[in-house]
Structure 1
């Protein structure tokens, strides 16, 4: 192989070739140290679950989780001691099998004399920790306190800790008693983009379908490049080129395709939950109907910060001034004229129930629910934001300050507010990223509501709490990279668990076996998903 060909190898294949290399005695002496270094670095990449990546892969095409794990592999190779490492959700995008390898890498770094601080919601990572700091008790303005700290065993004993209650299984996300049956199937024929091996994949309709794979096995290629872009081409006549495939059968059944990802709901300070969900329009109409506003001739447009009239012109309704920094990120400072309210003095003089428009935008969803209790159109949209677990966010909170998980749930709330017509295909890529057990439980409820309205939800996910609640699983594998791209198993979680070749089935077996044992022992779940002897779970509780 020349250097260009070798660079196109995956980490796994490159390591295999290096280890099987046969050299003469003299060449062995010359290359010994170089080969040792190459092997160790390839093994580091393999151990953090990146064996499927090609060595020549462009850095711009890597996901956030992949980039973080490459940096982690670099640190492992440096063999430094006395270092404090901080990792933010390193398990993002990892199958439970690959997560084991990542934990072993973290242990090896710890054992060198380093300290590893991990922000994580993954159960296996928490159970493997030496010490846990649990923040809460809820999110946003209701959080910011240390609820519990100690070893996993100590956290599990603490009944005030929501995390401890889930780890100890006093609370849990219940496995559905019945699985929905698919109404029909889309069928992808001959998908062979990237590492997909010209596979035919059935996509069940009218159910919650989960695509599970070991890392790098082609999940995003199949769901995003082939399914989403392929349907968009047929339904919307999109000009975007889909991944290589022969056909998609029964696509005429689908009316709409919506991909709900964790990208921001807006990239400017003016974008916020109220404007994105359509909530701001009726709020502005309410203010325009106030007697003082009518006397002054103010229309709903007066209360918009996107057009001239009622907004502060010094910051053009942003509430902040952007200061461009050469070679550094831009800095935002509060506008001195409006003090961050976004509006001019005349607009702020108009009050509804004693609050002006800026004060209303500063309300949390929970506060606004009480404030607008008598206005059904506003209350309905606020209820949906509250139901997806976002009661703590501010109506006018800048989109740039929202996390990926929060942005995704705002998009879900917007979809729930639409008239239910059915026959819509929703696609979500790892929606549980950054979510605590309680938030995941709330998310599953929302996804089930979309399915119950006659829609189809396809989720790419590794979180076993979501996988066990699926009606149908598409398991790809068996490995990542060139060793993947095949269908390993199809069917309900119970059918996947019976498949000995499936890594997903291996982890599902333990979960389903535990449920069966509890049922046989007469331990039935209570309405909160926990055991009968557990205390009542507060629906609004969460940690972050």
Structure 2
């Protein structure tokens, strides 16, 4: 019997012909600097090879160009638990994800709900008011109105731009003249009666309005309809997204189910609506002394041990962070009695407080008794406790990919001079999720860090500030990039490159754009081809023509060199190396690449598909656009876990750069728990004391 998984001469991505041995029924930690090749070994090679091997038994082997190696032995089925959340289905909830209908129906009790009522997404069972989504959109008049402006200056934002905006503005002025509403008075000084007319009235007669549209004058006879009535009628249109906010459905209270249908339905003396709405930690306490509910309690207890007890069963899966979904999957595997499987886990330590480490480690050890566990980790606690360690290094990109000796990769902890600002943003009346009537002071021109356990309210506070202030919020939710998206297009430098080559060669810029003439003619510059397989999962394989390299190699123009570089060199050279090769004329372009390098993205090439990036890399990619700016902005910059997925040394360097650029913003707010990030903050706001209903309080505000 083969007691190890053996991989021979692995050359995937930047890996340098390495051979590794993974002992079965043990825990192996793969560690190293960010971008050195850990994920290339763990996910792109080991996990994907195992998946393909067993998929091939059913459907035949598919040529996979994503990994390269000479051979392998000891392959077993594999599960990957990473930190991405690509679920966009708003009807997918913890209840459906955990298969609660099946778990509940297996309970041996007489008074259980009928199985048809346990399937919550059936049209006859869902709330008719929110269509089973648990929340409804509403318009806030404060978001629609600039109260400092006069009516003459047009304070109503939905009539300030867009299709027929001039028509509605002139209609409003005509209505004001008829109703004797003063148009030169700021909106906030108008009488309550005049405000109500402007917001909710309908005129009894039509007005003749002459307006300009697409450069031509037109005329219409039209009734006046108040701003709020007009906004409500457009509620579902894209033009209203800036003025709408979601709130819990007042009819189902967020449970998503029809109150009338479930009015008398109970589970273990708990009203079924409450069963769906209660925090899982509270639900577990109510069920644990009930007979027949032991398995259900075990499932709920596993979720609580992951620090997710603040969630409830009606919570939408798309609303979870990548880390939350990862821990939910992990808890599900722990309760599955699975055996003989390879389980590859990406940074299980992220978003965990130190006191949770021993609990998680105990669970991992239990899992490894019947399974093989591979951790991709930066956390020393988990690396040192693992049965076996593999160090991939020594540096990122082309300088990485080697098997290296053991090394402690640490932050520099260089001393910094903390700022003691005297001018503050003062926020009061904060109400969002578990935050109720809270107040907080945030120092201006400083770096503030929000700390506290998962679910304590850090993100809710950040979202409230974003909604009520001019702010840029770099969240932990992945952006949904198209299959065509590569780093060059995401960083918005593809056109800069095309214009540069067009100017230097005299060719049209279309000749240097992937989605125009430069891209491979078979895959249209995407690099992969989609094969639809009916009811089976679609396949995406590297394009056989360009071998995933995106460009039309037969096109002579793409091989033309300017200052020693072709457009292929621009796209296929690592960003940090490309930066050193650029001509001085591309100063703005160089600034963007320099920022990307400082943010730990220098090992990537501009041809890299954005969909293949980790959540942390995508977050820093979004951040790059804002930190590369030259001019100051009055906006607040909020960054959710800027060091996600980074080793301590790289995290230290990235946050030092954020601090260096902080004066470009009115203030910078970080949401973090890692010590190497907190080290660079000037001020701390701690939320807690615990999670969910036991959190949501601002318990500490202090200069560091």
Tell me if both proteins adopt one fold, taking TM over 0.5 as the criterion.
yes
Out of 520, 525, 536, the residue aligned to residue 317 of structure 1 is 525
* Greater helix proportion: 1
Is contact 1:266-1:399 (8 Å) kept?
no
Tell me whether 1:352 sits opposite 2:352 in the alignment: no
Structure 1 position 51, deviation (Å)? 1.8
Residue 515 of structure 2 aligns to a residue whose secondary structure is: coil
Whole-Å Cα distance in 1 between the matches of residues 541 and 571 of structure 2? 19
| 1:414–1:6 distance in 2 versus 1, CA, 3 Å | closer
Distance in 2, matches of 1:410 and 1:120, equals: 21
Which residue of structure 2 lines up, in the alignment, with residue 130 of structure 1?
A: 387
C-alpha displacement of 1:458: 0.8
Taking a change above 3 Å as real, the CA distance of residues 450 and 139 of structure 1, as seen in their structure-2 partners, is same
Q: Distance in 2 between matches of 1:471 and 1:410?
A: 25
Taking structure 1 as the reference length, the TM-score comes to 0.72
> How big is the shift at 1:440?
0.3
1:323–1:333 CA contact under 8 A, matched in 2? no
* Helix, strand or coil at the partner of 2:668: strand
Match of 2:473 among 223, 240, 259: 259
Q: CA deviation at 1:11?
A: 2.2
**CA shift for structure 1 position 222:** 1.6
Q: How does 1:463-482 map to 2 (within 5 A)?
A: 463-482=674-693
Deviations 1:301-320 (A, max 9, x none): 3322233x554544333344
SS of structure 2 residue aligned to 1:192: strand
Q: Distance in 1 between matches of 2:592 and 2:565?
A: 20
Alpha-carbon distance in 1 for matches of 2:529, 2:603: 26
| Aligned counterpart, 1:363 | 573
Q: Distance in 2 between matches of 1:12 and 1:341?
A: 50
Deviation track 1:431-477 (CA, whole Å, cap 9, x = no partner) reads: 22211112201211221022144542111112122123211111111
Instruction: Show CA shifts across 1:307-347 (max 9, x none).
Output: 3x554544333344333343414414325279844246242
Q: Specify which of 171, 184, 196 is matched with residue 435 of structure 2.
A: 196
The corresponding residue for 2:163 is none
1:16 alignment partner, one of 285, 288, 295: 285
How much has 1:137 moved relative to structure 2?
0.9
SS of aligned partner of 1:197: strand
1:333 aligned residue (542, 545, 565) = 542
Bigger Cα Rg: 2
Distance 1:454 1:87, change over 3 A: closer
Within-5 A mapping of 1:83-94: 83-94=341-352
After superposition, give the CA deviation of every residue in 1:217-271 in whole Å (9 maximum; x if it has no partner): 12222212x111222xxx5xxxxxxxxxxxxxxxxxxxxx222235567723543
Q: CA RMSD in A?
A: 2.8
Q: How do 1:515-534 residues align onto structure 2 when only pairs under 5 Å count?
A: none
Count residues in correspondence.
Answer: 432
* Superposition TM-score, scaled by structure 2 size: 0.56
* Pair 346,463 (structure 1): closer, same or farther in 2 beyond 3 Å: same
- Structure 2 CA distance for aligned equivalents of residues 228 and 409 of structure 1: 19
| Contact 2:514-2:551 at 8 Å conserved across structures | yes
Residue 214 of structure 1 and its aligned partner are, at CA, apart by 0.9
Deviation of 1:209 after TM superposition, in Å, equals 0.9
State the alpha-carbon separation in 2 of the partners of residues 411 and 483 from structure 1: 33
CA deviation profile, 1:105-140 (whole Å, cap 9, x unmatched): 223434x45443211222333343333222111122
Distance 1:57 1:262 in 2: 17
| 1:389 and 2:628 correspond | no
- List runs of 5+ in structure 2 lacking aligned partners: 1-269
Contact 1:8 1:54 in 2 (8 A): yes
**Matched position secondary structure for 2:349:** coil
- Identify the range of structure 1 (117-126 vs 209-218) with the bigger mean alpha-carbon deviation: 117-126
1:227 is aligned to 465
Q: What is the CA distance between 1:391 and its match in structure 2?
A: 2.2
2:684 counterpart SS class: strand
Partner residue in 2 for 1:40: 298
Q: 1:336 to 1:175 in 2, by over 3 A?
A: closer
CA contact (8 A) 1:210 1:460 kept: yes
Offset, 1:210: 0.9
1:517 maps to which residue?
Answer: none
* 8 A contact 1:85–1:114 mirrored in 2: yes
CA distance in 1, matches of 2:384, 2:365: 13
Q: Is the 8 A contact 2:519 2:550 kept in 1?
A: no
**Aligned counterpart for 1:217 among listed residues 435, 449, 456:** 456
* Partner in structure 2 of residue 416 of structure 1: 627
- CA gap of 1:13–1:451, structure 2 versus 1, over 3 A, is same
2:510 is matched with: 301
Of 378, 403, 424, which aligns to 1:121?
A: 378
- Alignment equivalent of 1:457, drawn from 662, 668, 673: 668
From the superposition, tell whether residues 176 and 352 of structure 1 become closer, same or farther in structure 2 (CA, over 3 Å).
same
CA 1:312–1:57: 2 relative to 1, 3 Å: closer
Q: What are the Cα deviations for residues 30-57 of structure 1, in whole angstroms up to 9, with x where unaligned?
A: x64x243344333222222122222333
Q: SS at the partner of 2:432?
A: coil
State the alpha-carbon separation in 1 of the partners of residues 296 and 548 from structure 2.
Answer: 57
Aligned pair 1:280/2:490, yes or no? no
Q: Deviations over 1:404-448 (max 9, x none)?
A: 222222333322321231433111112222111122012112210
Distance in 1, Cα, partners of 2:326 & 2:318: 13
Cα distance in 1 for residues equivalent to 2:399 and 2:297: 49
Show the 5 A alignment for 1:98-247.
98-110=356-368, 112-148=369-405, 155=406, 161=407, 164-166=408-410, 172-174=411-413, 176-224=415-463, 226-231=464-469, 235=470
CA distance in 2, matches of 1:338, 1:45: 43
Residues of 2 paired with 1:215 and 1:315: CA distance? 43
Superposition deviation, residue 387 in structure 1: 2.3
* Structure 1 residue 75: Cα displacement: 3.0
Aligned equivalent of 1:63, options 317, 321, 325: 321
Change (3 A) 1:470 1:175: farther
Residues 86 and 117, structure 1, Cα contact 8 Å, conserved in 2: yes
Distance 1:286 1:478 in 2: 55
> Is the alpha carbon distance of 1:133 and 1:15 closer, same or farther for their aligned partners in structure 2, counting shifts above 3 Å?
same
